[in-house]
Structure 1
């Protein structure tokens, strides 16, 4: 069976030959019918392949969604495991654990807890996009300044080397 570009080339050549009037119209018509039949068969084959590839795309999209959900779940599980270990280490007073495989330690960080509504804070701690400027707010709170609706919150994290 011929390839699509060969069939296309043959059909266009026959059409040009028929338009020029230099060939037997009956012979051209018979040849065109034969080539058009091959062309139609080839077109059906192309559509079958196209539909197959289109179905593959849908399957790939579904697999991407499934893997994204799995990734999100794995990230949550990892964060939960890390948090549980950090809290257990704090409760038992174990700040450092050294093993041949890992050096596990807890670290204390301070973050700012501020209201969702930035209008509840003084303007100097608000960015022009009306977001809380937590770094300046944290510095002010650490310096002992009283800021309404904001406070320092101690967090526990876990580091693994």
Structure 2
């Protein structure tokens, strides 16, 4: 169901223009208007979901099958050596509608790893404490569990 005022919902329903490369009942894929490289595609679920944790568990597999297909098509169609596939949840998410970036990549294209500085743990103890906190948040694991 489209959300009122959502740009990506409007592109999905055809109310707003977009250079759509794929669309079905699960997802719509369209060119990013500010691409990292030409051919940069956004894949958004057809039904409005703000973040990955808002996407119904039964929709996750079908949605990522479309992401996988678009990544393969970007490589084949553009002769790219690979793709960078990424998503933001809330922070740095310019449109509050879940979307996955599929960016064509080639060796020596100028894109350097991640777009932010990397850090290091102070040692094995600190790494273990972070791992424990995440493990505890997953237990007991339930695909229907949501974070807020």
Q: Structure 1-normalised TM-score? A: 0.19
Q: Structure 2-normalised TM-score? A: 0.21
Structure ranking higher in helix proportion: 1
The structure with the larger Rg is: 1
